[in-house]
């Protein structure tokens, strides 16, 4: 069953149109990845889903149309966006960052359970819980950003280029945790990545974007074996 | 986007301006002279704040220095009025440059605070040096007479002191505006704006940021100082309390309403700060400043980038409508 | 020696008032990068509203809390109605709007209440308080107490409540805050409300000493700037401490340095601002701005 359906999505910054009619689907409980080079419009796509850019076209989440809705409303529906560059609150502590992740939850919040859950996935955050987020390393901040997203108990987790600027070992660790979260909690994931190798390893379904349009859509495993893709995006 | 026909429009306005003193008299004429004086002062402030990004809440201080320089030279040494103008300009250039040096360390809010403190202190300082400045009483001057060839009984053209002052101010305005226009259009102007937009990048590209910023401060002060000197002649009186913090705030209001980083903006702003308080008075005798405040707020809603900014936007939209939008969006 | 203690306590009382107004300025500055030049006039206007209620016969403390509520709502409404239309405009545009607000409030207060000074009551007794051999004004001690209570309330609110955390987050990083579902616009409005409330306290504490008139807060605003500059515009605690230091310093200088009369006192505040800016612009407790390329 499709959790998120995007149909004919267009987006623009001022006079410049960046997305020219996108179609893609995120299956419930699955991991979908959008690949593409710099400037393809991947980040814009996530921002469009989150209501941060002016769009036209249909975005359907869990059966209801959400295009045009404000970001704050979408968060309350269970969409957690881990932005490009992590977006941590650098002058707040790790614990405060996590607490903010749960801010949007309507129901009576049992924060202690959520903290325990998140610290289980990311033990290093537990060690640093009272430190200012700005003093964490890049990898730790990325973990914090993902953890913050998880505090929402989201239905859909949007990850924007989580590998950017991080050491390969750290990135692999984060991706491993994302897979675990997806398996254990059934959180659907929409992953935007430049690192096609890692993304295709993780995802079930993949879309390839070029200058604002989807040019290929296939199960990830299929794209991994495709020669043309290999040469263009994996470099060998 | 077609270039705005600046030169023909400016020349046309100049012709109109030259004819005004012969149809207007007395107070009205004085008001227009004051508008030109403000325009020069505002251009000075705009060069610093609009083009170079250094916020000054204290330009009233340079206005005061210019005014008092002129007044003291006339009162103590009988210097002809016209000669006091370049002296005021050079003095303020130096003072402004010197002030610009410590100001290099201050950014945004902190520079605004420092200049604000300066503006507040000026009346006190002026009152303190009584021997020169006449203390709280100030200095009373007589209105400068036109030069002999314009006032003698057998002169071909007769100008009253008011008319003379008007033309003198207009001439100074034209010269200073053209100078600024050339300065800002060339390499110097690009360097100044580059510093505003990204000082680090500008420095990395070889722009001597410190030198340019201090020089800009100096030039800005010089312009405002000359305006102050002209006002000493126009008003024929200088007193410490006329140069209080309110003047500095009025100048800031003038450049934002007129349009930051815009030369014609200085003129628009000058009209605003000269005439709108009077209109406010006419609308409400009881609370005129409340009306003025409402004017300010509404103006900022409708034209957040000032009059010049809105005109630029309108001109651009016109251009796009005629050409057809490129992306068809 | 007794004069010294008296002047220090008196200085702490005025300093608390400067610090409160400085805190209001810093709160809004941290959230919006704008200094609300109308903060003093908002406080003055709130104090006039309190005066109206007291004159109508309402008891002091009821008026006090009613004024806090009115000021809070007023600040919130001003942000949503007057500031919001320009919240994405260039900073100087917002500054002009604040100046417009300043001028409107001052003018309307003068129009409604006239420019004649009015006495404003203090809730504290007229009789001086005696501690050991030193005599203090009861109002001074009371003002210090009230300031401390307000500050304690704010501290607890911002540090320990979820809403306070959300407000801090919205001030520091609006876009990430939206991603957490925080309605940033309303957080800003709440900030303005709280700042206005703090300003109202400052106004009601200072009015008994300087008498109520529309220009009452102008001088105090300048001292508040000096306090925030000294303490650091990026540090709320610093702003308050800065206020206390400025208050005590002003009093001691006025008492012990012979040629500083009331006229020059203001110059002292200005000199202080300039010295701090030259030596350490970010103030005693502020953080120097780091510019990332």
- Compare all CA atoms of chain C with the CA of B293 and give the residue at the minimum distance: C100
Average pLDDT, chain C: 89
Per-window interface: A 7-66 vs B, CB < 8 A: 12, 15-17
Q: Does C233 touch chain B (CB under 8 A)?
A: yes
pLDDT digits (tens, 9 = 90+) for A123-162: 999 999 999 998 999 889 999 999 999 999 999 999 999 9
Q: Over chain C, what HEC string results?
A: CHHHHHHHHHHHHHHHHHHHHHHHHHHHHHHHCCCCCCHHHHHHHHHHHHHHHHHCCCCHHHHHHHHHHHHHHHHHHHHHHHHHHHCCCCHHHHHHHHHHHHHHHHHHHHHHHCCCCECCCCCCCCCCEEECCEEECHHHHHHHHHHHHHHHHHHHHHHHCHHHHHHHHHHHCHHHHHHCCCCHHHHHHHHHHHHHHHHHHHHHHHHHHHCECCCHHHHHHHHHHHHHHHHCCCCHHHHHHHHHHHHHHHHHHHHHCCCCCHHHHHHHHHHHHHHHHHHCCCCCCCCCCCCCC
| β-pair partners for A54 | A12
| pTM, two decimal places | 0.87
Tokens 């401490």 identify what position?
A: C241
Q: What is the DSSP letter of B135?
A: G
Inter-chain contact B293–C267, Cβ cutoff 8 Å? no
Per-window interface: C 166-195 vs A, CB < 8 A: 166, 168-169, 172-173, 175-183
Average confidence (pLDDT) over A205-218: 88
**Which has more confidence, C106 or C277?**
C106
Interface test with A, best of C164, C181, C287, C290 (most A CBs within 10 A): C181
Contacts of B296 in chain C (CB under 8 A): 96-97, 99-100, 103
Contacts of A84 (CB under 8 A, 6+ apart): A43, A160, A161, A164
Q: Over C144-157, what HEC string results?
A: HHHHHHHHHHHHHH
For residue A232, the distance in angstroms to the closest alpha carbon of chain B comes to 29
Range list of β-strands (E), chain B = 139-140, 237-238
Average confidence (pLDDT) over A181-207: 90
Contacts of A92 in chain C (CB under 8 A): 165, 168-169, 172
Q: Looking at chain B, which subunits does it touch, using at least 3 CB pairs closer than 8 Å as the criterion?
A: A, C
Side-chain-side CA neighbours of residue A149 (13 Å): 26
Per-residue pLDDT at B329: 43
Contacts of C274 in chain B (CB under 8 A): 114, 117-118
**C289 has a pLDDT exceeding 90:** no
Q: Looking at chain C, which subunits does it touch, using at least 3 CB pairs closer than 8 Å as the criterion?
A: A, B
Inter-chain contact A100–C166, Cβ cutoff 8 Å? yes
Contacts of A75 in chain C (CB under 8 A): 178-181
Q: How confident is the model at residue C51 (pLDDT cuts 50, 70, 90)?
A: very high
pLDDT digits (tens, 9 = 90+) for A70-96: 898 899 999 999 998 888 999 899 999
Inter-chain contact A100–C183, Cβ cutoff 8 Å? no
For residue B14, the distance in angstroms to the closest alpha carbon of chain C comes to 30
Which of B249, B260, B294 is the closest to C99 by Cβ?
B249
| Chain B / chain C CB contacts < 8 angstroms | 114
What was the ipTM of the complex prediction?
0.88
Contacts of B327 in chain A (CB under 8 A): 15-17
Inter-chain contact B49–C264, Cβ cutoff 8 Å? no
CA angle B176, B181, B183 (to 5 degrees): 95
Inter-chain contact C181–A81, Cβ cutoff 8 Å? no
Q: Looking at chain A, which subunits does it touch, using at least 3 CB pairs closer than 8 Å as the criterion?
A: B, C
Inter-chain contact A12–B325, Cβ cutoff 8 Å? no
Per-residue pLDDT at B22: 82
Inter-chain contact A17–B326, Cβ cutoff 8 Å? no
CA atoms of B276 and B259, how far apart (whole Å): 16
Per-residue pLDDT at B117: 87
For residue A104, the distance in angstroms to the closest alpha carbon of chain B comes to 33
**Which has more confidence, A40 or C62?**
C62
Contacts of C169 in chain A (CB under 8 A): 89, 92, 96, 100
**A56 has a pLDDT exceeding 90:** no
Per-residue pLDDT at B149: 72
Which range is least confidently modeled, A14-18, B77-81, B221-225, C205-209? Answer: A14-18
pLDDT digits (tens, 9 = 90+) for C167-180: 999 988 998 999 99
Residue A5 zone, left/alpha/beta (φ > 0; ψ -120 to 50; rest): beta
CA atoms of A140 and A149, how far apart (whole Å): 14
Inter-chain contact A103–C181, Cβ cutoff 8 Å? yes
Residue B198's alpha-carbon distances to A182, B52, C291, in angstroms, are: 44, 10, 10
Per-residue pLDDT at C284: 85
Per-residue pLDDT at B328: 44
For residue B117, the distance in angstroms to the closest alpha carbon of chain C comes to 5
pLDDT digits (tens, 9 = 90+) for C108-165: 999 999 889 999 998 888 788 887 777 788 888 888 899 899 989 999 999 899 899 9
Which of A72, A88, A91 is the closest to C181 by Cβ?
A72
| Sign of the torsion formed by the C-alpha atoms of C243, C244, C249 and C255 | positive
**Crossing angle for the helix pair A111-121 and A168-185, nearest 10 degrees?**
130
- Per CB distance under 8 Å, which residues of B are interface residues toward C? 49, 55, 102, 105-110, 112-114, 116-118, 120-121, 124, 200-201, 249, 252-253, 256-257, 260, 286-290, 292-297, 299-301, 304-305
Cα B59 to chain centroid distance, Å, stands at 9
CA atoms of C114 and C107, how far apart (whole Å): 10
pLDDT < 70 stretches in chain B: 1-2, 152-156, 324-329
**C3 has a pLDDT exceeding 50:** yes
């Amino acid at each position: 069953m499709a959790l998120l359906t995007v149909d004919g999505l267009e987006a623009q910054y001022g006079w410049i149109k960046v997305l020219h009619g996108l179609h893609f689907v995120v299956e419930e409980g699955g991991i979908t990845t959008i690949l593409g080079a710099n400037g393809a419009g991947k980040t814009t796509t996530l921002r469009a889903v989150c209501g941060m850019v002016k769009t036209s076209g249909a975005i359907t989440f869990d059966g209801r149309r959400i295009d045009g809705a404000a970001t704050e409303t979408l968060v309350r529906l269970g969409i957690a966006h881990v932005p490009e560059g992590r977006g941590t609150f650098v002058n707040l502590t790790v614990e405060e960052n996590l607490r903010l992740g749960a801010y949007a939850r309507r129901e009576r919040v049992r924060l202690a359970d959520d903290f325990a859950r998140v610290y289980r996935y990311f033990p290093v955050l537990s060690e640093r819980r009272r430190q200012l987020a700005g003093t964490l390393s890049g990898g730790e901040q990325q973990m914090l950003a993902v953890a913050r997203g998880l505090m929402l108990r989201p239905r859909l987790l949007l990850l924007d280029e989580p590998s950017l600027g991080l050491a390969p070992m750290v990135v692999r660790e984060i991706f491993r945790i994302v897979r675990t979260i997806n398996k254990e909690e059934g959180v659907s994931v929409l992953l935007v990545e430049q690192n096609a190798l890692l993304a295709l390893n993780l995802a079930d379904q993949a879309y390839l974007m070029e200058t604002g349009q989807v040019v290929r859509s296939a199960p990830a495993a299929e794209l991994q074996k495709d020669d043309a893709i290999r040469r263009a995006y994996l470099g060998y | 986007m077609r270039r705005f026909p600046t030169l023909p429009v400016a020349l046309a306005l100049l012709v109109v301006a030259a004819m005004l003193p012969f149809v207007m008299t007395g107070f009205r004429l004085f008001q227009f002279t004051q508008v030109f004086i403000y325009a020069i002062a505002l251009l000075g402030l705009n060069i610093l704040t609009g083009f170079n990004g250094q916020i000054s809440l204290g330009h009233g201080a340079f206005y005061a220095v210019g005014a008092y320089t002129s007044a003291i030279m006339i009162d103590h040494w009988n210097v002809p009025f016209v000669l006091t103008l370049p002296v005021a300009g050079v003095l303020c250039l130096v003072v402004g440059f010197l002030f610009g040096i410590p100001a290099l360390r201050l950014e945004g809010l902190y520079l605004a605070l420092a200049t604000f403190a300066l503006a507040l202190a000026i009346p006190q300082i002026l009152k303190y040096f009584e021997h020169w400045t006449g203390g709280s009483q100030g200095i009373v001057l007589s209105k400068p007479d036109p030069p002999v060839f314009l006032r003698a009984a057998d002169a071909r053209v007769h100008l009253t002191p008011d008319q003379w002052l008007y033309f003198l101010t207009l001439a100074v305005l034209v010269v200073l505006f053209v100078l600024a226009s050339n300065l800002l259009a060339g390499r110097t102007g690009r360097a100044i704006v580059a510093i505003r937009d990204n000082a680090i990048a500008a420095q990395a590209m070889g722009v001597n940021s410190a030198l340019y910023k201090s020089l800009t401060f100096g030039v800005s002060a010089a312009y405002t100082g000359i305006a102050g000197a002209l006002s000493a002649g126009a008003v024929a009186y200088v007193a410490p309390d006329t140069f209080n913090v309110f003047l500095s705030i009025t100048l800031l209001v003038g450049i934002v309403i007129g349009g930051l980083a815009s030369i014609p903006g200085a003129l628009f702003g000058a009209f605003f700060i000269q005439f709108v308080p009077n209109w406010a008075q006419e609308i409400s005798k009881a609370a005129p400043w409340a009306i003025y405040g409402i004017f300010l707020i509404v103006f900022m809603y409708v034209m957040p980038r000032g009059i010049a900014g809105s005109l630029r936007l309108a001109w651009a939209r016109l251009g796009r409508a005629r050409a057809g939008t490129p992306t068809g969006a | 020696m007794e004069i010294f203690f008296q002047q220090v306590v008196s200085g702490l009382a005025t300093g608390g008032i400067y610090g409160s107004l400085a805190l209001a300025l810093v709160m809004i500055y941290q959230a919006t990068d704008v200094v609300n030049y109308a903060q003093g006039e908002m406080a003055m206007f709130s104090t006039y509203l309190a005066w109206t209620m007291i004159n109508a016969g309402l008891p002091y403390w009821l008026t006090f809390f009613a004024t806090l509520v009115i000021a809070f709502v007023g600040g919130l409404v001003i942000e949503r109605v007057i500031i919001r239309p320009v919240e994405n405009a260039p900073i100087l545009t917002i500054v002009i709007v604040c100046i417009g607000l300043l001028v409107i409030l001052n003018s309307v207060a003068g129009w409604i209440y006239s420019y004649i000074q009015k006495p404003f009551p203090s809730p504290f007794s007229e009789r001086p308080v005696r501690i050991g051999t030193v005599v203090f004004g009861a109002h001074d001690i009371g003002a210090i107490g009230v300031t401390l209570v307000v500050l304690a309330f704010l501290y607890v609110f911002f540090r320990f409540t979820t809403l306070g955390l959300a407000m801090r987050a919205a001030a520091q990083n609006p876009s990430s805050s939206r991603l957490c579902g925080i309605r940033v616009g309303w957080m800003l409005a709440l900030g303005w409300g709280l700042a206005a409330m703090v300003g109202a306290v400052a106004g009601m504490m200072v009015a008994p000493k300087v008498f109520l008139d529309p220009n009452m807060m102008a001088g105090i605003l300048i001292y508040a700037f000096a306090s925030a500059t000294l303490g650091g515009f990026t540090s709320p605690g610093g702003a308050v401490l800065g206020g206390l230091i400025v208050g005590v310093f002003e009093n001691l200088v006025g008492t012990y340095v012979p040629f500083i009369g009331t006229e020059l006192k203001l110059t002292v505040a200005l000199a202080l601002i300039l010295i701090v800016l030259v030596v350490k612009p970010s103030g005693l407790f502020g953080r120097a701005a780091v510019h990332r390329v």
